[in-house]
Amino acid sequence: MSIDVDVLVETYTILKQYIPAKERQEAADNLVSMLNDAISDKELREFGLVDKYTSSAVKEYVGDDDEEDYSDYEE
């Protein structure tokens, strides 16, 4: 089964508004942990572009080879 990254991004964006800000990093970490086995590293890095939470979570699991600047992403 293949998961479309665009669908993941849209789903995460919708659900994020219901997660208290102080719990968003943990939620992103858990989601990326699960996605790590379901999608490729390239797709995971693409998902990591959503915001600072996904960026941090992806860097923890995949590494930060791309060294992209995520500081402009909104919470």
Q: Domain extents for the chain?
A: 5-19+27-62
Specify burial of residue 57 (Cβ count, 10 A radius: 0-12, 13-18, 19+). Answer: buried
Question: What pLDDT is stored for residue 69 in this prediction?
Answer: 52
Per-residue pLDDT of the chain (75 residues; tens, 9 = 90+): 568 999 999 999 999 999 999 999 999 999 999 999 899 999 999 999 999 999 999 999 887 555 555 555 555
Question: What pLDDT is stored for residue 68 in this prediction?
Answer: 52
Question: What pLDDT is stored for residue 63 in this prediction?
Answer: 73
